[in-house]
Amino acid sequence: MKSLLLEIFYILAGLVSIIAAVYALKDDKHPHRKETALFWFLFGAIFIVGKYIPAPIVGAMLLLMGVLTAMKRVTFGSLANATDDMRQKSANRLKNKIFVPALTIGVIAFFVAQVFKSLGGLVGLGFGAVAATLIALVMTKEKPKQFGYDGSRLLLQVGSASILPQLLAALGSLFAAAGVGEVISSGIAGVLTEGNILGGVIAYCVGMAVFTMIMGNAFAAFAVITAGIGMPFVYAMGANPAIAGALALTAGYCGTLMTPMAANFNVVPAALLETKNKYRVIIAQVPIALALLATHIVLMYVWAF
Amino acid sequence: MIKLIGVLIIVIGFIMKFDTIAVVLVAGVITGLVGGLGFVEILTIIGEAFIKTRYMSLFLLTLPVIGILERSGLRERAADLIRSMKSVTTGKVLTTYHIIRELAAAFSLRLGGHVQFIRPLVNPMAYGAAEKNFDEVDEETEDIIKGYAAGSENLGNFFGQNVFVAAGGVLLIVGTLGELGVEVTPLAVSKASIPIAIIALVYSAIQNYMLDRKIAKKLTQKKSGKPAAEVK
């Protein structure tokens, strides 16, 4: 039941991507409309029929998508939002009712995960999204076609970065297959004595923060550090995986707060706000990031074991 | 040690600001090659992992409705709500924004952003509060307020998002641990993310309160107008 429902939702998600490809292709003012459309078409196709294609071909499709983004051919184009004036008018008309469909997604996702445990949060997300769409359809009185347009607008705006979590997971698999985790853990093993849980927790949390500071991306760090440090020194010692995993990732975010490598969060906003000191955002965040990192270590040690 | 070349490629790629997707793919392929895998084997691993982790991109399903709500003024309504708040002190403005941002993230709402909220709304309100309460706000204080304003967006965003059961981070945790043979459900991870979300908010409120005190100590309070009693 669960896998059937999920498969249906994957097909719907693939359709969202393919519709975006169609809108990109129809966008006359788009400088790279064919390449952009190809990117989203491939992504959608992987969702809909990827299961039935041999894996190496899916891998090759992803490399092709990588070539398209490397050449900067996957871009936004010119799908317009409603004008400021129209949006403000609509906001005044709908008032706080406008939050209802948006909150529906999270509430239903949680409800399904909590009550129908066998279905899980992902099926819940699917139901939540469908329910929210129906509520919005009635509430805003927009035509169904408009939903396709605005979904495409959003997807093209977020752009190729939306496939990044999946690619990083694939990178994690490759690192694991190539034995990267062993290299890191054998390096750490020289410092830590076996069975030293506190040492393992510190190495995991600080490793996440430091590695995130170097790479500028906690998601990428998570795959590497979890395989190299988390597995042998924390999970293998009997840590609750949900708690240790959740805390490890946010420990990485403490690193994100302190590094100029996370340019989108720290350097670009400083430029946007025209600060005199270009590290002003990082300076503001360092004390709280360090306090939070220490808290992560304590919490993981006390709560996960 | 040579196996760490993938990590090096990512670091260099990010520093040089090459396209992120391409950097990740190149790092993966080269790590596979130095790790002794064949090219087809590498493609197989990438393809299999990508298919297996499709659930990470189920957020695509929410885009049509979020897009329509944006068209219908979702951001504008949120901005109206923040604006209607009785503006008091710089720190209180920032803490309030942190609360709203964190709640929105926990519900997977794309409300927030440095471009959409911090520059046009939160920073002017935080600065405005200081201007209202004190004679003259010097340039350095103005700069510090900007830093805190941008920080409130990051903190609310980072530590709130994993409370949502299908957040990208939650699914990455589930997926990565699954690859390594540890089973865990998204719901368990999202529940485990609640305490640190609350703690981050408390720390941020304390830091914002200290900012208020710092500003009050540095600047002279306005004698006329609003009582400075708000600023202890």
Cβ-nearest to A16 among B64, B162, B190:
B64
**DSSP symbols for A26-73:** H-TT-TTHHHHHHHHHHHHHHHHHGGGS-HHHHHHHHHHHHHHHHTT-
pTM of the predicted model as reported, rounded to 2 decimal places:
0.84
A14-18, A169-173, B124-128, B179-183: segment of lowest average pLDDT: A169-173
Give yes or no for B164 touching A (CB within 8 A): yes
| CA dihedral over A263, A170, B197, B164, signed as positive or negative | positive
Separation between Cα atoms, residue A18 and residue A48, nearest integer Å? 10
Q: Are A76 and A157 in contact (CB under 8 A)?
A: yes
Q: Report the distance separating Cα A129 and Cα A123, nearest Å.
A: 10
Cα–Cα dist A155/A33, whole Å: 14
Query: To the nearest whole angstrom, how far is the Cα of A214 from the nearest Cα of chain B?
Result: 7
Q: What is the pLDDT of residue A67?
A: 96
Least CB-CB distance to A155: which of B10, B35, B63?
B63
Mean pLDDT over each residue of chain A, to the nearest integer: 92
> Measured between CB atoms, which of A9, A160, A248 is closest to B58?
A9
Strand partners, B134: B221
Spatial distance between the Cα atoms of A257 and A265, rounded to a whole number of angstroms: 8
Share of chain A above pLDDT 90, in %: 69
Which of A183, A214, A280 faces B146 most closely, judged by CB atoms? A280
CB-CB contact of B145 with B127 (8 Å): yes
Per-window interface: B 142-161 vs A, CB < 8 A: 143-144, 146-151, 153-155, 158-159
Nearest residue of chain B to residue A102 (CA atoms): B109
How many residues appear in chain B? 232
Assigned token pair, A163: 């496939």
Q: Give per-residue pLDDT as tens, B24-71.
A: 899 999 999 999 999 999 999 999 999 988 988 888 999 999 899 989
Pick among A96, A114, A174, A175 to test the B interface (most B CBs inside 10 A): A174
Nearest to A277 by CA among A262, A287, A285, A267: A267
- β-pair partners for B221: B134
Taking CA atoms, what residue in B is nearest to A153? Answer: B67
Separation CA B2–CA B14 (nearest Å) = 20
Tokens of A277: 């000191």
**A32-76 per-position pLDDT tens digit:** 999 999 999 999 999 999 999 999 999 999 999 999 999 999 999
pLDDT score for B158: 96
pLDDT in tens, A136-158: 999 999 999 999 999 999 899 88
Record: contact A10-B54, CB cut-off 8 A: yes
Residues 6+ apart with CB under 8 A from B29: A63, A174, B39, B42
AA letter at A93: R
